[in-house]
Amino acid sequence: MAMRLNASSTVIGTINALVYVAFFFLPLGKMLTKRFSIVRIYSSAWVLRALGMTPLLFVPMYAARGQTDFALFLVLLGVLIFHTTRGIGMIANNPVLSALASGPGRGSYMTQIQIINSAVGMFASFAIAIALGRSPPLFLYAVLFGAGIAGGVFSGILVGKIPEPPAEEGEKSVSFVGIFKEAFSQQAVRSFTIVLMLVALVSGVARAFVTVYAREVFDQNDGMVSLYSVFGGLGNLMSGLLIKFLVDRIGVKPIYICCSILGLAGMIPIVLFPSSGIDNTTSVVLFLTFLFFILNFGFLGAEGIAQTYFLALIPRELMLDMGILYFFVFGVAGAGGSFAAGLFLDMFTALGVSHFLAFKFLFGLLIVITVIILSLQRKLSPLGSLPFKGALEVMFSYRDLKAITLLDRLDKSRGAEEEEALLEALHNTPSRLSVKGLLDRARSPRLSIRSESVRALETLDTLGEDVEKALIFDIANNPYTTAYISARILGNHQCFSAVPLLREAALSGDYMLAGEAMIALARIRDDAFRPRIEEIISSTENPRLKIMGVEALEIYKSPNSIPLLMDIFRQKDPPPYLGDEIVLAMAGILGTGKEFYPILVRYLENHSLAPTLAADEAEAAAEYYAAALGGWKTAGRKSQYKKGTAQARALQGAAEAYIRDKNGAPLSRWIMALPDDLENNTIQIILSEAVLDDDLAAYNRLRLLICHWASWKLREWADRNKP
């Protein structure tokens, strides 16, 4: 309306500055709290602020009479009354929001309010744009303001039904001067206040004067400006949706920085926009659409998240008083910036500088201030937020974003089956962001939910202190259910603090827990407990517990455990699956686990292949030895290769005698003839004696393993002698 009355940039800046006058009346609102309830002040002020816009209803009448100056005065008067009464009521804003937004979802709730405001504002702007058209008469503005006044009175009455926020124990009351002393005595609050002031200044000027920019530089009519405002509302709505999605997962600080970066990105095109593009209608419409969208996305997002940061930073007992500081600083910066920006533009115009260049200078200055804001924001207290780099990784990580979506659905779930399905999905979408939600579900009274929660924790790359404590608690309190999963996780992450409890768990009657505890201790490298594991393997009759103990010994990779593993074969009729696990564990200790596994698989498919597999291994190793040294003739001529060549030629015969005829004497001599630096002497002695043991010769798996090991030793010998 003011621009239709041909108001100067200074007047426009003054009107925008009056928006921030509200914040100077917060102390008056605080004085009223001594006599009236906070919600009553809130409600009454909201009704009065709507009625305060009544002077604008008479603007068209005076404008029609040619009394433009008085019409502008009515505009200024209405805006002044509106924001004065609004400021008195805003004393209740932070206490009421703090009470309504208490709990871990505070950031999400605060942003939900921003989303609702943005959505309503966007649709209202769209409706106004349609109503105004290209060149609307002034009386149409009066009609719209009349509807706004009626809606404001109605909403003010509804505000009166909000529950009164409870008074906090130890709530402090500080003088106006004392508020500033209290705030600036704290580094975190002082830093935030400076950033808030600069953000309010840049945001207020950029968002207000982009409308003037569209009118003065590109000659856009009221209808088009209102339409651009719809896209501005869309930007605000989108920022609210994004913040709501992320704020409780990555924290406030990185989002605050990102919003400032987006605001900066929105102003740079203004400085770079070429004068030749002014006459291109398509370019102008697209450019202004983007400008309104991105500036509102960035700076309104920054303003909204700043309040969330403030609520997290300030203790509740200081919320009322510090709220005055918050809005006072916001008001000073916004009002001062808007008024100064108007004078700045009029000064350049008076000097003969075009509007096009004047706005470039103005937004260039705002860009410099925004760069300063970003440098200061990095120094703000994190308040539990992720580091900025980590937050960016989350924003651009499909896995993390999917995890956030699943967690949001999990928070809203009401049935056990739905929770189980979501927890299973989280298990398949590992993310650090899911930890808190998973820990909450890990205390569920339903076993299936606890199990899925703990299983999902298993996929984490690293464990934090909270997760370690939760898993240790689970082992101590939930045997026979989820404790074994927790033991496995602690072992996989080598949690040394869990060693005492895992030692106790290894002796538990819960064989799954006992088995996982033994494996966990092996992964943690608790070598002192290895002999105790060997005792458990020898004494237990539980095949599953034996297998898990054998797996633990494989992880330890101690040659001294091989005799115990061989002794299991001497027990009466060990199950075939147990024999498979034993020879694989022995292969792991001997260092050929990966190579032996496919050979064992082929043997299990056809047991009659054992002699052929052993012979093939020995023959291939001998050929490998000869090829490495330049052929059999070359290997036989050189004295330094004679011993190795003789061993290579003798291997196949020794292996066939052992695997076909169970005659281990040749292979025993072959093993003991290996160079001392090629193999651990303990292993040589153990295996050379094992091939002579008639009881052990009955097991094809074991004989096949020893033949395979001998073949690999010959390959290693060849690699060492390779010229």
Residue 667: what residue type?
Answer: L
pLDDT digits (tens, 9 = 90+) for 164-198: 766 544 445 555 566 667 666 778 888 888 898 89
The average pLDDT across 258-274 equals 92
pLDDT digits (tens, 9 = 90+) for 36-48: 777 788 788 888 8
Token pair for 687: 């295996």
Whole-angstrom distance, CA of residue 84 vs CA of residue 668: 101
Give me the pLDDT at residue 169, please: 46
Token pair for 195: 């950033």
Q: Counting every residue, how long is the chain?
A: 723
Residue 41: what residue type?
Answer: I
* pTM greater than the 0.85 cutoff: no
The average pLDDT across 323-333 equals 76
Whole-angstrom distance, CA of residue 557 vs CA of residue 547: 15
325 vs 597 pLDDT, higher one:
597
Does residue 102 carry a pLDDT above 60? no
The region that residue 133 occupies, defined by phi over 0 for left and psi between -120 and 50 for alpha, beta otherwise, is left
Q: What is the DSSP string of 467-526?
A: HHHHHHHHHHH-TTTTHHHHHHHHHHTT-GGGHHHHHHHTT-S-HHHHHHHHHHHHHHT-
Token pair for 97: 């929001």
Distance of CA 203 to the CA centre of its chain: 28
202 vs 396 pLDDT, higher one:
202
Give the chain's mean pLDDT: 82
> Under a CB-based contact definition with an 8 Å cutoff, are residues 561 and 534 in contact?
yes
The average pLDDT across 443-460 equals 83
Does residue 669 carry a pLDDT above 50? yes
Give me the pLDDT at residue 314, please: 78
Whole-angstrom distance, CA of residue 102 vs CA of residue 633: 86
Give me the pLDDT at residue 635, please: 59
Q: What is the DSSP string of 97-121?
A: HHHHT-STTHHHHHHHHHHHHHHHH
567 vs 426 pLDDT, higher one:
567
pLDDT digits (tens, 9 = 90+) for 568-579: 888 766 788 888
Report how far apart, in Å, the C-alpha atoms of 678 and of each of 440, 681, 683, 718 are.
Answer: 54, 9, 11, 11
The average pLDDT across 638-642 equals 64
Q: Which of 105-119, 498-512, 641-655 is the least confident region? A: 105-119
Whole-angstrom distance, CA of residue 76 vs CA of residue 339: 14
Token pair for 561: 């455990």
Whole-angstrom distance, CA of residue 57 vs CA of residue 66: 16
Q: What is the DSSP string of 378-427?
A: TTS--TTPPPHHHHHHHHT-HHHHHHHHHHHHHHH--SHHHHHHHHHHHH
pLDDT > 70 in the chain, percent: 84
Give me the pLDDT at residue 723, please: 65
Confidence of residue 451 (pLDDT cuts 50, 70, 90): confident
Does residue 440 carry a pLDDT above 50? yes
The average pLDDT across 578-594 equals 91
> Under a CB-based contact definition with an 8 Å cutoff, are residues 53 and 83 in contact?
no
Distance of CA 615 to the CA centre of its chain: 56
The 8-class DSSP code of residue 473 comes to: H
Give me the pLDDT at residue 35, please: 80
Give me the pLDDT at residue 170, please: 45
Q: Please write down the HEC assignment for all residues of 606-670.
A: CHHHHHHHHHHHHHHHHHHHHHHCCCHHHHHHCHHHHHHHHHHHHHHHHHHHHHHHCCCHHHHHH
Q: Which of 18-32, 435-449, 538-552 is the least confident region? A: 18-32
pLDDT digits (tens, 9 = 90+) for 108-153: 555 566 666 666 666 666 676 666 665 667 777 778 788 888 888 8
- Which residue from 484, 457, 459, 477 is spatially nearest to 468, judged by alpha carbons? 457
